[in-house]
């Protein structure tokens, strides 16, 4: 039988009420809905182009990805997908930590881990999208996208 | 315990059966500070509610068993308890609907400090309720007759006027279980009742109160409250309407 502690009893009457029109939690809540809708389009578009369109799943190789990232439109698409998905996911995990981690220290540790993972992934991903070299020197031409001149 | 008919029921006769109640008790004056389970097997009738069974246990078996009840007809909201793991009113729960073949577990509602047996301290719950200013605030000129309202204007908040403050919704909310500072569904429902009332002028103020860190944004839309409400209020829907009002106000 699990029991639940009594919640911190009668709340303090808050004398200094912050009269705000918006706050971080509201922006976060709104962001989750909007980014969710955008991500549905981005992710299913991504899955269709990669796995269904053209040669389908057999068409995926280095050349395919390199060809996509040579195009500014796909760079923007992937960048948007990366950022929205990471912020959406990280914010979701943040609310879960807030809901379930009871001790302040646990919450701090988990949030630091979350932030580290978030920053690493986003920075690395962004760097890859923008500094990607589609035609590395000295590679066999049949693995490279068609526009590479050896 | 098995529910056995004591004798073949005649046509139209109400069946009688034995039912076992498994009650979570907390009686620090005699049993120390640990809560414990106690079973009562009592005879009940097919038309009995759980409240009748509790009465029987208290009146005929163990007078120290404590629970709240006032009107006993689902209006006062005193006897909300956790019955077979679900928050319900004991006076609106028929034993025959609970499968009397098996022991029926009865616990106090969760998330509020237990005072004795099934009685909890409702003060944190009512503190949240008071904070949203559950009264009409009118800044306009006092009318000479009643404040008129059209049927449509009244319809807008009709659902949330049904609340009886039994705390079944708030104490079914996992966010409230872990964070007692959260306003909880009941307070938001009662804010909704005034925010969307055409006669009220303090809607903006109530929205600001609920825009707090422990306000509506902690709601995770899991519908526990809607499921728990003995009055059938669409609690989660009301909370979403309050959120929408905040977003449209802010932008």
Q: pLDDT by residue (tens digit) across A118-132?
A: 999 999 999 998 888
Question: Where along chain B do its domains lie?
Answer: 16-120, 123-250
CATH topology of domain B16-120: Ubiquitin-like (UB roll) (3.10.20)
Q: What is the pLDDT of residue A66?
A: 85
For residue A15, what pLDDT is reported? 43
Q: How far apart are CA B52 and CA B83, in angstroms?
A: 14
Could you read off the pLDDT of B118-145 as tens digits, one per residue?
A: 999 999 999 999 999 999 998 888 888 8
Domain ranges of chain A: 30-134
**Angle at CA B73, nearest 5°, toward B69 and B75?**
85
Summarised one tens digit per residue, pLDDT across range B16-29 is: 999 999 999 999 99
- In this prediction, the residues of chain B whose per-residue pLDDT falls under 70 are 1-10
Assigned CATH class of B123-250: mainly alpha
CA distance A109 to B113: 30
In angstroms, the Cα distances linking B171 to A124, B104, B108, B138, B167 are 44, 19, 10, 32, 6
pLDDT band per the 50, 70, 90 thresholds, residue A20: low
Contact B103, B3 (CB under 8 A): no
Cα–Cα distance, B20 to B4 (Å, whole number)? 12
Q: Using an 8 Å Cβ cutoff, are B221 and B175 in contact? A: no
Cα separation, A40 vs A55, in Å, equals 23
pLDDT band at A104 (very low <50, low <70, confident <90, very high): confident
Q: Does A8 touch chain B (CB under 8 A)?
A: yes
* Cβ within 8 Å, pair B181-A22: no
- What single DSSP character describes residue B21? E
Is residue A14 over pLDDT 60? no
pLDDT, chain A, mean: 83
Of the candidates B47, B38, B40, which has an alpha carbon nearest to the alpha carbon of residue B19? B40
Q: Tokens 């008129």 identify what position?
A: B148
CA pair distance A73, A62, nearest whole angstrom: 18
User: Which of B119, B242, B250 best tests the A interface by mutation, with the highest count of A CBs <10 A?
Assistant: B250
3 state DSSP class of B25: strand
Provide the shortest C-alpha distance from residue A88 to chain B (in Å): 15
The second-level CATH assignment, the architecture, of A30-134 is: Up-down Bundle (1.20)
Cα pseudo-dihedral B216, B222, B225, B229, rounded to 10: 140
What is the predicted pLDDT for the residue at A16?
Answer: 44
Closest residue of B to A6, CA-based?
A: B113
């Amino acid at each position: 039988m699990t029991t639940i502690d009594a919640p911190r009893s009668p709340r303090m009457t808050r004398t200094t009420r912050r009269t705000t029109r918006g706050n971080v939690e509201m922006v976060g809540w709104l962001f989750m809905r909007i980014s969710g809708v955008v991500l549905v389009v981005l992710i299913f578009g991504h899955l269709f182009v990669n796995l269904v369109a053209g040669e389908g799943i057999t068409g995926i190789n280095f050349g395919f990805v390199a060809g996509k990232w040579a195009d500014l439109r796909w760079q923007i698409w992937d960048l948007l997908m990366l950022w929205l998905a990471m912020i959406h996911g990280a914010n979701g995990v943040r609310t879960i930590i807030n809901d379930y981690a009871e001790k302040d220290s646990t919450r701090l540790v988990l949030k630091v881990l979350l932030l580290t993972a978030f920053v690493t992934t986003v920075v690395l991903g962004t760097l890859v999208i923008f500094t990607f070299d589609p035609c590395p020197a000295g590679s066999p031409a049949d693995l490279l996208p068609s526009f590479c001149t050896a | 315990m098995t529910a056995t008919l004591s004798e073949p029921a005649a046509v139209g006769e109400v069946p009688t059966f034995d039912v076992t109640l498994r009650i979570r008790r907390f009686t620090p004056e005699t049993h120390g500070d640990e809560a414990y389970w106690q079973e009562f097997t009592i005879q009940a009738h097919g038309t009995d509610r759980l409240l009748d069974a509790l009465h029987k246990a208290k009146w005929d078996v163990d007078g120290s068993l404590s629970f709240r009840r006032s009107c006993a007809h689902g209006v006062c909201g005193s006897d909300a308890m956790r019955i077979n793991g679900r928050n319900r009113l004991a006076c609106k729960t028929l034993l025959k609907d609970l499968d009397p073949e098996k022991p029926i577990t009865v616990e106090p509602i969760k998330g509020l400090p237990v005072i004795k047996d099934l009685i909890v301290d409702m003060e944190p719950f009512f503190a949240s309720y008071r904070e949203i200013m559950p009264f009409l605030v009118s800044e306009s000129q006092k009318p000479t007759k009643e404040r008129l309202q059209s049927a449509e204007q009244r319809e807008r908040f009709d659902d949330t006027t049904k609340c009886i403050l039994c705390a079944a919704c708030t104490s079914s909310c996992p966010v409230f279980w872990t964070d007692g500072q959260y306003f909880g569904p009941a307070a938001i429902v009662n804010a909704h009742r005034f925010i969307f009332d055409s006669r009220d002028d303090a809607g903006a103020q109530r929205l600001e109160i609920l825009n707090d860190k422990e306000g509506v944004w902690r709601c995770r839309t899991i519908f526990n409250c809607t499921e728990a409400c003995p009055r059938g209020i669409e609690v989660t829907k009301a909370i979403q309407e309050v959120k929408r009002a905040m977003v449209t106000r802010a932008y």
